[in-house]
Amino acid sequence: MTNATQVLVEQLAERFLKASKKLVTAESCTGGGLAENLTQLPGSS
């Protein structure tokens, strides 16, 4: 994961945690890339 992607994933995770929300993805064109990056964050899955 690039540094820019990591920063975005961390910001996204922080927003969801603060709002007590969960994120669900359904990917086709990205081949699971979004979920792959999100689950690299410790405690995300």
Q: SS3 sequence, the chain?
A: CCHHHHHHHHHHHHHHHHCCCCCCCCCCCCCCHHHHHHHCCCCCC
Whether 44 is in a domain gets the answer no
Instruction: Indicate whether 39 pLDDT > 80.
Output: yes
pLDDT in tens, 11-26: 999 999 999 999 999 9
Q: What is the rounded average pLDDT for all residues in the chain?
A: 90
Whether 45 is in a domain gets the answer no
Whether 26 is in a domain gets the answer yes
HSE-CB for 15 with a 13 A CA cutoff: 7
Cβ 5 vs Cβ 44: under 8 Å:
no
**For residue 21, what are the domain limits?**
3-39
Residue type, 17: L
Whether 7 is in a domain gets the answer yes
* Number of domains within the chain: 1
Query: Span 30-40, mean pLDDT?
Result: 89
